[in-house]
Chain A
């Protein structure tokens, strides 16, 4: 089960060509390390391309998203299974 969050976050990421690898993110003044990127995919919303990353900090699972047009990040969902 996921909880919908949809809040802006700060993200540290490595951009190498087409490849984007988020390394950490800050949500509500707390820094979360990205221990594993379990999956990533793209979605088109109108003329905007959103790149989703399912990431784990070793404890919980998060879905973070990069808006390729606006160049901003947001936390989309948090897994509430623990």
Chain B
């Protein structure tokens, strides 16, 4: 039996929500980003703003230059996550095979649902209708025999589109499309392929597999399949997803900075957030990755593995500081800081023999319970007391006294 896979893409998700909330924003170019007083990136732009060339990920100053009349709305992640959950619940009415691809995208497998809900296009129309009625938002749906082609189909008609790619139409559709239209082929791979004389998906499918393997390694096999519109991966329901491999957070600073005290304070806040997530998931990790992005968008990461597993913000922070120290002098002002912990194990409720560790474990447990009850960062390291409310992170200063008190708190400090 041919599989029937759908890719549901909520159109300009954050901006559509803001336009739904505020009727004054409807039909206007809207940019959703961070605080209007800060310097973050465009999270989403409405289709009206996209007409001026505004794109996701672009700096707000660049977006404002392209579309000065755009209305900037400060994003609210809780609002978007709650809406995303509502959408997943609606999709679950049609099938239990729902894979969350991102906050605004999902794959569903409706193979065999025809007797219940009708032909694939009919099912897609029903989904669109329910999403419109219950959350009031438009979406594009792509229908195809696999995830790769379903994603491609949903991209073909936006906003509010519905495109079905049938098995027999695949060669014709892939013939003229550029390779970067395929999910998973980015700018870098596309330019590498172009150097090999491969521009279209059809050319990728016809390219000798050996050539692709020689240039891309094991990925070459995958690229060859993608070129022929093949994708055997199944829709993995969020209820059967594998274990989490890493946890991380990143933050774009309101202003590029060369001030290492600011970088360190952001690092501490991020480490605390990662620690909280690890403890909630009852995980510990022993590999810490530090991500830095310079003002010119050059991004790099460095990691460090330690011999023990950690889940405490200050421990993560101190490993990240060691990485920062190894990197040495930063050559350009920093725009973004990120911390990730990987190489995770499920926390096996470690028993400590030393009083220091026992006390610390009890203290962290108590802090977690207070923060669970009253909200994140109700109790936080003294360094973060200097912060003004969230998103307004200046001034970010660490006094010598605070640094001293911090090292006293963590037995893993170096």
Q: A and B, one complex?
A: yes
Q: Which residues of A contact B (CB under 8 A)?
A: 38-39, 41-47, 52, 54, 56, 61, 79, 81
Q: Does B372 contact A (CB under 8 A)?
A: yes
Provide the residues of chain A in CB contact with B232, threshold 8 Å: none
Known A-B contacts A61-B22, A79-B22, A81-B24; the reply to A52 vs B79 at CB < 8 A is yes
Q: Does B280 contact A (CB under 8 A)?
A: no
Nearest CB on B from A53, distance (A) = 10
Q: Is the CB of B82 within 8 A of A47?
A: no
Known A-B contacts A56-B23, A61-B22, A81-B24; the reply to A39 vs B17 at CB < 8 A is yes
Q: How far is the CA of A56 from the CA of B136 in the complex (A)?
A: 16
Provide the residues of chain A in CB contact with B83, threshold 8 Å: 41
Q: Do most interface residues of chain A lie in helix, strand or loop, or is the interface mixed?
A: strand
Nearest CB on A from B280, distance (A) = 12
The total of interchain contacts (Cβ-Cβ below 8 angstroms) comes to: 40
Q: Is the CB of A39 within 8 A of B21?
A: yes
Q: Is the CB of B21 within 8 A of A47?
A: no
Q: How many residues belonging to B are interface residues under a CB distance threshold of 8 Å?
A: 17
Nearest CB on B from A54, distance (A) = 4
Q: How far is the CA of A52 from the CA of B79 in the complex (A)?
A: 9
Stretch in contact with the other chain, from B142-150, B208-216, B348-356, B373-381? B373-381
Option from A43, A44, A54 in Cβ contact (under 8 Å) with B22: A54
Nearest CB on B from A76, distance (A) = 11
Q: Does B358 contact A (CB under 8 A)?
A: no
Q: Is the CB of A41 within 8 A of B82?
A: yes
Provide the residues of chain B in CB contact with A39, threshold 8 Å: 17, 20-21, 136
**In the complex, the 6 A-B pairs of residues with the closest C-beta atoms, listed nearest first:** A41-B82, A43-B78, A46-B375, A46-B374, A39-B21, A54-B21
Provide the residues of chain A in CB contact with B23, threshold 8 Å: 38, 56, 61
Provide the residues of chain B in CB contact with A54, threshold 8 Å: 21-22
Provide the residues of chain A in CB contact with B374, threshold 8 Å: 45-46
Q: How far is the CA of A81 from the CA of B23 in the complex (A)?
A: 11
27 cross-chain CB contacts under 8 A = A38-B21, A38-B22, A38-B23, A39-B17, A41-B78, A41-B83, A42-B78, A42-B82, A43-B78, A43-B79, A43-B82, A45-B374, A46-B372, A46-B373, A46-B374, A46-B375, A46-B378, A47-B372, A47-B373, A52-B79, A54-B22, A56-B23, A61-B21, A61-B22, A61-B23, A79-B22, A79-B24
Q: Which of B128-157 contact A (CB under 8 A)?
A: 136
Provide the residues of chain B in CB contact with A43, threshold 8 Å: 78-79, 82
Q: How far is the CA of A43 from the CA of B77 in the complex (A)?
A: 10
In the complex, besides A46-B371, A52-B79, A61-B23, 8 extra interface pairs with C-beta distance below 8 angstroms are A38-B20, A39-B21, A41-B79, A42-B78, A42-B82, A43-B78, A46-B372, A47-B373
Q: How far is the CA of A43 from the CA of B78 in the complex (A)?
A: 6
Provide the residues of chain A in CB contact with B372, threshold 8 Å: 46-47
Closest to B22 in A: A61
Provide the residues of chain B in CB contact with A79, threshold 8 Å: 22, 24
Per-residue A-contact encoding for B71-84, CB less than 8 Å = 1, 0 else: 00000001100110
In this complex, the member of A39, A52, A81 whose beta carbon has the largest number of chain B beta carbons within 10 angstroms is A39
